[in-house]
Structure 1
Amino acid sequence: MEARDHQEFDRKQRVILIHGLSGNRWVLGSLNRFLKRNNYQTTRWCYRSVGNSVMNHAQRLRAFLESEADSPEPLHFVTHSMGGIILRAVLADMKWHQPGRLVMLAPPNHGSRVAYLAAKGLHYLCPALSDLSTSPDSLVHRLPMVESLDTGVIAGTQDLLVHLESTYIANQADHVLVPCGHNRILRHPESLQETLYFLKNGRFTEGARRVAPTASPRGVVV
């Protein structure tokens, strides 16, 4: 009995890593190695991000996760940028037997001004740009909140692609800032440590930098 209990204690929890627009498995390398060193079993879910819409990507991710929803073991997620929006589209209609935790790195939860501008000329080459736009009718403004997983958000103070106020999500458990840009957040030492702490505790460290979000007249965090 004691040996079995010890085995249960040592079992590695699983984490799915999801990259953002124009990313690949290699951009997740530092995060992947860091979590493995800290006793997590990681899987990098990769996709060809440029030629499809967010909902097309979400269909593929949903098919990948369908067999996981009833697992007795918690399944955690760490997403970067658009990866978090794809996961939100999937979580809208998935229920988990044993919910895990979600860390969103630099997520454009309320859209990206850069995506809005780029979509004007590149929509047909990259439909996802319109989904990530700050336009009021874009997909990001129609997705429900994340209800099934405790969610923490890490934003970069030097992010030129996703504005700080766009990273907040209404029912987040915690939100912190890291002094880096949009892609550096995937390998910044502080970002890695905060990600690990949230996966273990459901909140970020006490000493992390936090800034209260502002709210629009509609009561939506922006």
Structure 2
Amino acid sequence: MRYLFALFLFLIPAVAQAKCVVLLHGLARTEASFTVMEQLFQAHGYTVVRPSYPSTDLPIPELANQTLPDAFAACGDDTVNVVAHSMGGILLRHWLQDHHPENLGRVVMLGPPNQGSQLVDELGAYEVFGMLNGPAGLALGTGPEGIPRQLPPVDFEVGVIAGENSLNPLFSSLIDGKDDGKVSIKTTKVEGMTDHIVLPVTHTLMMNNPRVMAQVLHFIEFGQFDPQITWLDGVMDIINEICIGQDCSEPESEPTQ
């Protein structure tokens, strides 16, 4: 059964090379959005760094320069992998265009507006949108003035996970093609990416979906996604992770008299 593969992942002993992962939240979110995924990576022997940054207060260049140097430094000489949600992927791409850490590992982007956001195109002129999303959010348009369009192709290992379910029909009506309620599948893609997969998840909470977490771990470990991983596999991962270091075996029954 496929869940045996998930179990295998959790039973892999820690390799000699030290491993670190930076979990970078998105626009109008906090580091708490990655609490569950942090536990998953820690169970696999990773040092986890969950930086917080004021995503709605400052422009993208300032956010990137304030956040990523310290996050990478927190990993020391370990290989630094990154999981970035939404705008977090744009911060990472912006910073990496001028910085080339030798210990950069693999990157997974969750619902990234790599070609910009059509919602910003449609709603950015409204004052309330700017108040809620700040200068960074307003810089995510699809036009040439938007930061995503100004970034170069990626030159590092990147796997992109796009969602195809939406809980916001109003927002989806403003987006061309299939979307996750915030970003279209098409605009998550970036030139130079290593792999791309579409899953039945929504934008805001995709990082907590068991199947997404299983795919993230698989890419970080092996450099590619596995389309055969199911939602049940992801659930088994979480169950196994909870049992690590604990006795989850069935209690022995008392002997009959």
Report matched runs for 1:122-161 at 5 Å. 122=127, 125=131, 126-147=134-155, 149-158=156-165, 159-161=180-182
Deviation per CA, 1:124-165, whole angstroms, max 9, x where unpaired? 531112211122321110011221x31000011110100100
TM-score (norm 1): 0.83
Please, which runs of 5 or more residues in structure 2 have no aligned partner? Answer: 1-12, 166-179, 231-257
Higher helix share: 2
Q: Partner residue of 1:4?
A: none
Q: Which runs of 5+ in 1 are unaligned?
A: 1-6, 210-222
User: Contact 1:177 / 1:208 at 8 angstroms: preserved in 2?
Assistant: no
Question: Could you tell me how far 1:166 is from its partner in structure 2?
Answer: 0.4
Q: 1:80/1:119 Cα in 2 relative to 1: closer, same or farther (>3 Å)?
A: same
Identity across the alignment (%): 28
Tell whether the 8 Å contact from 2:42 to 2:48 is kept in structure 1 after alignment. Answer: yes
Alignment correspondent of 1:113:
118
Structure number with greater Rg is 2
- Whether the 8 Å CA contact 1:118–1:129 is kept in 2: the answer is no
Question: 2:109 matched to 1:88?
Answer: no
Q: d(CA) in 1 for partners of 2:214 and 2:29?
A: 22
Q: 1:25 to 1:72 in 2, by over 3 A?
A: closer
Equivalenced residue count is 201
Relative distance call for 1:188 and 1:157 in structure 2 (3 A) is same
Counterpart Cα distance in 1 of 2:208 and 2:159: 17
Question: Deviating runs (4+, > 6 A) in structure 1?
Answer: none
TM-score by length of 2: 0.72
Whichever residue aligns with residue 115 of structure 1, its letter is V
The answer for the alignment partner of 1:163 in structure 2 is 184
- Tell me whether 106-115 or 57-66 shows the greater mean CA deviation: 57-66
> Is the Cα contact below 8 Å between 1:72 and 1:97 reproduced in 2?
no
Distance of 1:197 and 1:63 partners within structure 2: 26
The equivalent of 2:36 in structure 1 is 30
